[in-house]
Chains A and B, each alone.
Chain A
Amino acid sequence: MEAVTRLVKIRTSKTTLAIGDGANDVGMLQEADIGVGISGAEGMQAVMASDFAIAQFRFLERLLLVHGHWCYRRIAAMICYFFFKNITFGFTLFWFEAHAMFSAQPAYNDWFISFYSVAFTSLPVIALGVFDKDVSSRVCLEVPSLHQDGVNNVFFSWSRILSWMLNGMCCSIIIYFGSLNAILVQAVRQDGRVAGFDILGVTMYSCVVWTVNCQLALYISYFTWIQHFVIWGSILIWYTFLVIYGLFSPAISATAYHVFVEACAPSPLYWLSTLMIVVTALIPFFVYKISRTLYYPQYHDQVQRANSKNW
């Protein structure tokens, strides 16, 4: 059986799936690209050698059509979004270096940078990768040609990857130059005090966190309480962290000491510039999404719309 599988794999260069339930199927399962083992009457041998294990043969339909479709979309979206959020963040640091003589002075406090991928932007991505759904399972089963999206690599083509990266670059440019021009060089508050390195860092970082989280909110099509909790919660965690970190003594918090509570929060300019920059950074993607789904819909957009009233 494994010889046949290998023959098919090599001669047709296609992705092969093998399904089996007995110990004699182990070789075939391991040879195929995807091995699906059935646990049951013939024991757990096939299950241990397989990539996916199901309980009954008829569950294969759901595995392929429902979970295959959902997981393909989720993983492709998660990877593209990961690139996007890190490019947005990293390039703001890069543009700052252009104004700091490329001396490797980071624009943000060290702990801000450390916690970016851990606390402020990690949970929403997990929610995207685990929970996102575009159509319900009933629709997936009724319209099996949605499975072709995976075969044709619709969601992870080079054009998608590169356009997410381009989106990240544009967002970082808007965030950096927007923050710069809004809060420098004049006073930021009525008492005449100006923004230094610390206030610029906090403003830019807040804009980055808001932008990447709201970008995710614009992208996903399935909002449960979990998605709301992680997206808005991540933004809240950032502000909470900023306040708490600012309470530590200056020996630990350095430039972040009291910066939000004393300098940023009472300044209307800080809040106005955050709102303006975030909305401006999200407009290009929003316009693209509109023109794509309303005027040049792809097949999966059509299916999603046709079934939107009866999910």
Chain B
Amino acid sequence: MPPPLSLLRPHDVSSGSLAVALYALLHHFPRTFPPPPPASPSGHSKASLMDPLEMQDDSKKSNKPKYSKFTQQELPACKPLLTPAIVISTFLLVGILFVPIGLASLSASQEIVELVHRYDTNCVPLADKVGFIQDTKTDKSCTRTLTVPKHMKNPIQIYYQIGDFYQNHRRYVKSRSDKQLRYKDAAHLTKDCEPEVYGADGAPIVPCGLVAWSLFNDTYTISVNKKAIEVNKKDIAWQSDKNKKFGSDVYPRNFQNGNLIGGAKLNESIPLSEQEDLIVWMRTAALPTFRKLYGRIETDIMENDQLTVVIQNNYNTYSFGGSKALVLSTTSWIGGKNNFIGVAYLTVGGFCLFLALFFVVLYMIKPRTLGDPSFLSWNRCTLDYPN
């Protein structure tokens, strides 16, 4: 069957073109058709339709390779082609799926009550902040009052949020010994822990390294309407950390007894697997601004309650310009308060619906039949080119 001439471009017909010259040349020889799959009832492996050149090989052994759909690249296939129907229905589908998810996420996020209170600037004197914080003898307690804007249902999570602290810096992340944390007799494996390796008496520090050394040590005592409430500090670390990464027979030794104190001291009679503050701290954060779980309040807090927080402002973020904040937040199925995911779903869903509408309108204004060769530029002015 000759090809539709309108698909051949006019300049293809000129003598300089290799493809058409070759085409014309080779048509002096018999055409090669791909052999149809063997279907003859007699069970011969040779196809019934044979090229004339191969007829004479019938008696001799043929070198033709065995036909298989895989080697002839004729596997059954799905060949999706973009049509306006597929395009419009894809965008509609995405839009219809995403908009409700966005609405659900946004409403869940809006229901969450979150209180963020930055206290590091208010809890130190204006002058010589670093000196104040490093002085072990001054009283560093600081009382802050917060008003609860909406009813907060229990459990209410308490976090401390630190800003500009690069827990993801390579040297910091390396500076720990996981084996030492896990195994009692691995106390001497302190290869990566520089510079916090040996204590004052020359024995290795357990846990060694900068990550443990910089343990956060502010504490919060919370009372609601002048009544003290208990902060539950159990079950704040990940289970896998408590069970498998920190040993239940490893006790702190020589910790924070050097010249430079980086953070909290550890109770030497509690094994590491129960030091949940340490475990939470040692799970390194991703970005310089991060939150870590401090504890939970297991009672409800009503709207307009006065929260009084007594903060022991011990941790030194002033030397490097960091910030500290106290965060109280409820949670829902989506986690904590974050409008981003809801807004993103709504934006993408809305955009897809808009695109679906746009393509519908475009299709109605300028319909194009698929593969209609009359739109090709050389077919439009039929006076100039032979057809």
Contact = CB atoms under 8 A, between A and B. Distances in A.
Nearest to A190: B331
Contacts of B1: 142
B79 A222 contact: yes
Contacts of B8: 143, 145
Contacts of A147: 18-19
Interface string B75-115: 11111111010010010001000100100010000000010
Interface string B60-79: 00010000000001011111
B287 A193 contact: no
A252 to B, nearest CB: 10
B98 to A, nearest CB: 8
Contact of A59 (B12, B32, B73): B32
Given A100-B169, A145-B20, A224-B77, A191 B331 contact: yes
B286 A105 contact: no
A242 interface: no
Given A100-B166, A293-B82, A144 B335 contact: no
A269 B335 contact: yes
A173 interface: no
A111 interface: no
Q: Tell which of A184, A186, A189, A267 has the most Cβ of chain B within 10 Å.
A: A186
Q: Tell which of A56, A105, A182 has the most Cβ of chain B within 10 Å.
A: A105
Overall SS of chain A's interface? helix
Interface residues of A, number: 87
Size bracket, chain B contacts:
35 or more
Nearest to B25: A61
A303 to B, nearest CB: 6
B338 A186 contact: yes
Interface string B335-360: 11110110011001001100100010
Given A60-B26, A105-B173, A303-B7, A65 B178 contact: no
Contacts of B344: 178, 181-182, 276, 280
Interface string A279-311: 110010011011001110001001111111001
Interface of A: 55-62, 64-65, 99-101, 103-105, 131, 133, 137, 142-145, 147-148, 151, 178, 180-182, 184-201, 221-226, 249-251, 254, 257-258, 262-263, 267-269, 272-273, 276, 279-280, 283, 286-287, 289-290, 293-295, 299, 302-308, 311
27 contacts: A59-B32, A61-B23, A103-B166, A142-B3, A143-B3, A143-B7, A144-B12, A145-B8, A178-B344, A182-B338, A187-B335, A194-B291, A194-B292, A221-B79, A224-B75, A263-B238, A268-B334, A269-B335, A269-B341, A272-B105, A276-B98, A279-B94, A279-B348, A280-B348, A287-B355, A306-B373, A311-B79
Interface of B: 1, 3-4, 7-9, 12, 17-20, 22-23, 26, 29-30, 32, 34, 53, 63, 73, 75-82, 84, 87, 90, 94, 98, 101, 105, 114, 155, 157, 159, 161, 166-171, 173, 178-179, 182, 236, 238-240, 244-245, 283-293, 296, 329, 331-338, 340-341, 344-345, 348, 351-352, 355, 359, 362, 368, 370-371, 373, 376
